[in-house]
């Protein structure tokens, strides 16, 4: 974070801190372990601690920043031995092992007592067993990014239903192009397609039940999801040999105009621009409706939690409320900082059309809830087995019965 941005973050944060009881006049200690180790996130984390400390000069804050990948194997030990007061992690089922082990503090009271205004849309991502176990601090949208110039050439408009999506796809195929770029070499992109097909076919709540192992993969509702997806696969909507490409390699099909759209996260916008596309050539729309069910959205979310064995829980709660406040959310998610979306619906975003569209969609139109993506919502072993099956399905959709039977066998083993 450069000095100008850090000053801007500080000014906004201190404006909140000086007028809010949650961040004013605290004393004692506050120990934070953060995995925001890359340069920009690290600067944001250090700025947050500096700002919170400036508003609370009698508070002794100790910040330890650890490597993001290493933290994935270190967190359990950290939560049990001399636990800090605040840690970073992820939302939804990725919290599950630590919630079930009694290692994360229940912070439902913060959502009930007015400490966290503006977080209604993301509350579900922090909920397990009817309670909330942390607060989010940043997320980003998924959706369909498309070549607006090619749509204009072909006389197409943004679809809102799967019927309209498939009608557009027929026109695109007739023009000699593919409808969708995708690279499934590393499996997870197939998980994104399943997330949306399932949430649009059966709804967000059903998708989460499946992720928790409460529904059989051979259930007729999952079979219908696969049938809806197969209709696109069998019409030739996806690029050929996608299993040979990473998501970055497959992006070239879209930037070269050989495919018109990509279901992907907002992180793909920068590479599209770097490849020479300007914002008049690319646009974004929400994944179309299939059934009359509340729309859920994939929006991977990073979070703060209070360990159950923390010593300074009141100070930790104050810090979480501070981070989640609208003004601080606006500042830390700005383009020069995290460059993602604030989780607080009362925040504002940079003047970037994709961030603005994503913020509007997630703040007002994610009626079903916010999912975290297949490999976060499903337990790690189920996610691995599942994504292998989903990639196979995209290449051999006729194997669907065998694939679902294998995934069901894995479900019964993994969730026992």
Q: What is the pLDDT of residue 94?
A: 84
> CA separation (Å) from 307 to 89, 104, 156, 372?
11, 5, 51, 21
The torsion angle over the Cα atoms of residues 250, 255, 261 and 264, rounded to 10 degrees, is 60
Average pLDDT, the chain: 91
Instruction: Please compute, for residue 358, the number of CA atoms within 13 A of its CA located in the half-sphere on the CB side.
Output: 30
Predicted confidence (pLDDT) at residue 229 exceeds the cutoff of 70: yes
CA 204 – CA 369 distance, rounded (Å) = 6
- Count of all residues that appear for the chain in the document: 416
Q: Three-class SS of residue 218?
A: coil
CB of 396 closer than 8 Å to CB of 111: no
pLDDT tens digits along 382-394: 999 999 999 999 9
Q: State residue 60 phi and psi, 5-degree precision.
A: -90, 110
Q: What is the pLDDT of residue 61?
A: 98
Among 7-21, 92-106, 235-249, which stretch is predicted with the lowest mean pLDDT?
7-21
Among 57-66, 154-163, 237-246, 366-375, which stretch is predicted with the lowest mean pLDDT?
366-375
Predicted confidence (pLDDT) at residue 159 exceeds the cutoff of 50: yes
Q: What is the pLDDT of residue 9?
A: 47
The torsion angle over the Cα atoms of residues 183, 188, 192 and 197, rounded to 10 degrees, is 90
Handedness of CA 217, 144, 343, 94 (dihedral sign): positive
The torsion angle over the Cα atoms of residues 340, 345, 350 and 351, rounded to 10 degrees, is 130
Neighbours of 236 (CB within 10 A): 12
Predicted confidence (pLDDT) at residue 6 exceeds the cutoff of 80: no
Q: What is the pLDDT of residue 13?
A: 41
Every domain of the chain with CATH number 3.40.190.10 lies at 3-139+300-347, 142-298+373-414
Predicted confidence (pLDDT) at residue 104 exceeds the cutoff of 70: yes
Q: What is the pLDDT of residue 366?
A: 65
Neighbours of 80 (CB within 10 A): 13
Q: Give the homologous superfamily in CATH for domain 142-298+373-414.
A: Periplasmic binding protein-like II (3.40.190.10)
> CA separation (Å) from 56 to 18, 172, 213, 315, 327?
9, 59, 45, 10, 18
CB of 287 closer than 8 Å to CB of 143: yes
Average pLDDT for residues 358-368, to the nearest whole number?
80
Q: What is the pLDDT of residue 23?
A: 55
pLDDT tens digits along 25-43: 899 999 999 999 988 899 9
> Could you tell me which residues come within 8 angstroms of residue 384 by beta carbon, excluding any fewer than 6 positions away?
375
Predicted confidence (pLDDT) at residue 20 exceeds the cutoff of 80: no
CB of 16 closer than 8 Å to CB of 327: yes
Average pLDDT for residues 229-238, to the nearest whole number?
98
- Read off the pLDDT band of 5 (50, 70, 90): very low
pLDDT tens digits along 246-268: 999 999 999 999 999 999 999 89
Predicted confidence (pLDDT) at residue 183 exceeds the cutoff of 50: yes
Helices (H), 333-379: 353-360, 374-377
Among 162-171, 196-205, 360-369, which stretch is predicted with the lowest mean pLDDT?
360-369
Q: What is the pLDDT of residue 8?
A: 43
> CA separation (Å) from 104 to 78, 129, 209?
12, 13, 22
- Read off the pLDDT band of 68 (50, 70, 90): confident
CATH of 3-139+300-347, one of 3.40.190.10, 3.40.50.620, 3.10.20.30, 3.30.420.40: 3.40.190.10
């Amino acid at each position: 974070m450069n000095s100008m941005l850090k000053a801007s973050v500080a000014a906004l944060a201190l404006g909140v801190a000086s007028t809010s009881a949650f961040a004013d006049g605290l004393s004692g200690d506050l120990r934070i372990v953060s995995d925001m180790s890359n340069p920009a996130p690290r600067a944001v984390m250090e700025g947050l601690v500096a700002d919170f400390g400036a508003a609370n000069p009698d508070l002794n804050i100790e910040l330890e920043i650890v490597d993001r990948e290493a933290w994935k194997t270190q967190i359990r030990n950290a939560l049990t031995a001399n636990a800090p007061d605040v840690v970073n992690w992820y939302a939804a089922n990725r919290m599950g092992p630590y919630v079930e082990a009694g290692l994360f503090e229940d912070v439902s009271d913060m959502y009930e007592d007015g400490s966290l205004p503006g977080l209604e849309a993301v509350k579900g991502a922090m909920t397990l067993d009817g309670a909330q176990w942390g607060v989010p601090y940043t997320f980003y949208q998924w959706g369909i990014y498309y070549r607006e110039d090619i749509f204009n050439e072909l006389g197409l408009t943004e679809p809102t239903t799967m019927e309209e999506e498939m009608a557009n796809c027929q026109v695109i195929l007739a023009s000699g192009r593919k409808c969708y770029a995708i690279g499934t070499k590393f499996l997870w992109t197939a998980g994104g397609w399943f997330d949306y097909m399932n949430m649009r076919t059966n709804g967000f709540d059903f998708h989460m039940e499946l992720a928790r192992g409460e529904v059989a993969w051979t259930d007729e509702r999952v079979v219908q999801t696969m049938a809806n997806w197969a209709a696109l696969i069998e019409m030739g909507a996806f690029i050929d040999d996608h299993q040979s490409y990473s998501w970055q390699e497959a992006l070239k099909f879209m930037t070269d105009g050989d495919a018109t759209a990509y279901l992907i996260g907002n992180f793909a916008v920068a590479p599209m621009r770097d490849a020479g596309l300007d914002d008049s050539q690319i646009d974004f729309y929400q994944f179309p409706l299939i059934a009359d069910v509340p729309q859920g959205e994939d929006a991977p979310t990073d979070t703060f939690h209070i360990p159950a064995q923390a010593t300074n829980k009141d100070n930790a709660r104050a810090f979480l409320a501070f981070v989640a406040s609208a003004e601080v959310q606006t500042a830390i998610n700005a383009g020069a900082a995290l460059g993602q979306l604030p989780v607080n619906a009362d925040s504002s975003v940079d003047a970037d059309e994709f961030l603005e569209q994503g913020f509007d969609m997630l703040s007002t139109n994610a009626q079903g809830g916010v999912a975290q993506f297949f490999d976060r919502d499903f337990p790690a072993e189920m996610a691995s087995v599942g994504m292998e099956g989903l990639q196979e399905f995209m290449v051999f959709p006729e194997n669907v019965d065998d694939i679902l039977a294998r995934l069901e066998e894995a479900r019964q083993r993994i969730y026992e």
